[in-house]
Amino acid sequence: MISKRTLKNIAMTIPQQVKIVEVGPRDGLQNEPRPITLQDKIALVNKLSETGLRYIETGSFVSPRWVPQMANSAEVFAGIKRHPSITYAALTPNLKGLERAIDAKADEVAVFVAASEQFSQKNTHCSIAESLERIKPIMAEAKQAGLQVRGYISCVLGCPYQGEVEKDIVAKLAKSLTQLGCYEVSLGDTIGVGTAGKAQQLIHHIKKDVAIEQLAVHYHDTYGQALANIYASLELGVSTIDSSIAGLGGCPYAPGASGNVATEDLVYLLQGLEVESGVELNKLISAGQEICQALGRKTQSKAASALLHKQH
């Protein structure tokens, strides 16, 4: 049996505050096969802006040929009601994407690389080394425009094409991204195969080179492990967590991968741990209900389903 003293020690290592990076309007919708109206996309961001979230990835400026669902991200940025305390960010694969993001007045941008050569080729049509080269001019131009850059690494705990991924490759990429100027690196378990033990081993390995304060985690929930992986990451001091409203999402280049951990489930977990996120769960649930209704699909959030069921 675990003693109270041990529990207290564990609790002490968990951060008291967590920043949630809401990726629903981008990661959540990018792979949605059904058409989504511009108004529904704008309404989602506006609803999320009322929940206490401080960071919303609002869209992406990638090739519309490859990801048609994000083709109207500029219109989404133009249509939303912005709150001064919220960062409205965009994903940018290259200089053209960055220029579109600057035109759309994104507050911040995110670049992305993969820890697997095959995934890198499928997702961005270039090798891992070439993707790092592509990032260099983005960093320079973003700096000139006064924009901070976040970095993502995909496939950190497994790849849909090559299977196992070496921790060393992930650690080297995390180091490279911070050296290139990314203020934060988000570790993406793109296909949700990771488990708590593997997540901890990976983070232990990376934090030799990159400060824990600069690491974020981005868990897709394909195998139902995302909340366990988040808890395991919190234990190591990670205090930035990506999630998606109603658990929407997936990557077009990761077949079979499901959505990110649901933001509602994440906030429920954090409330239970008395970790401050600043987000109001009831408002979040309402935002999730609205987008699920618009998409004609059921929420993937168990906490939202249970709490809504209780109300009726």
**Binding interface with ligand HMG (CB under 6 A):** 27, 30, 60-67, 91, 93-94, 96-97, 100, 112, 123-125, 152, 154, 188, 190, 218, 220, 251-253
- Give helix 226-235 / helix 263-272 axis angle, nearest 10°: 40
| Contact partner, 161, from Mg ion, ligand HMG, none, Cβ < 5-8 Å per class | none
| Contact partner, 269, from Mg ion, ligand HMG, none, Cβ < 5-8 Å per class | none
State the minimum distance, in angstroms, from the CB of residue 154 to Mg ion: 7
Which CB, 125 or 143, lies closer to ligand HMG?
A: 125
Active-site entry in 159, 182, 251, 292:
251
Which CB, 102 or 248, lies closer to Mg ion?
A: 248
Please identify which residue in 22, 26, 27, 236 interacts with Mg ion, judged by CB under 5 A: 27
| Contact partner, 298, from Mg ion, ligand HMG, none, Cβ < 5-8 Å per class | none
| Contact partner, 61, from ligand HMG, Mg ion, none, Cβ < 5-8 Å per class | ligand HMG
State the minimum distance, in angstroms, from the CB of residue 192 to ligand HMG: 9
State the minimum distance, in angstroms, from the CB of residue 96 to ligand HMG: 4
| Contact partner, 55, from ligand HMG, Mg ion, none, Cβ < 5-8 Å per class | none
Which CB, 65 or 309, lies closer to ligand HMG?
A: 65
Which CB, 87 or 123, lies closer to ligand HMG?
A: 123
Say whether 251 is catalytic: yes
Rule CB under 5 A: is residue 184 a binding residue for Mg ion? no
Q: Ramachandran region of residue 235, left (φ > 0), alpha (ψ -120 to 50) or beta?
A: alpha
Which CB, 63 or 286, lies closer to Mg ion?
A: 63
Give the residues lining the site for Mg ion (CB under 5 A): 27
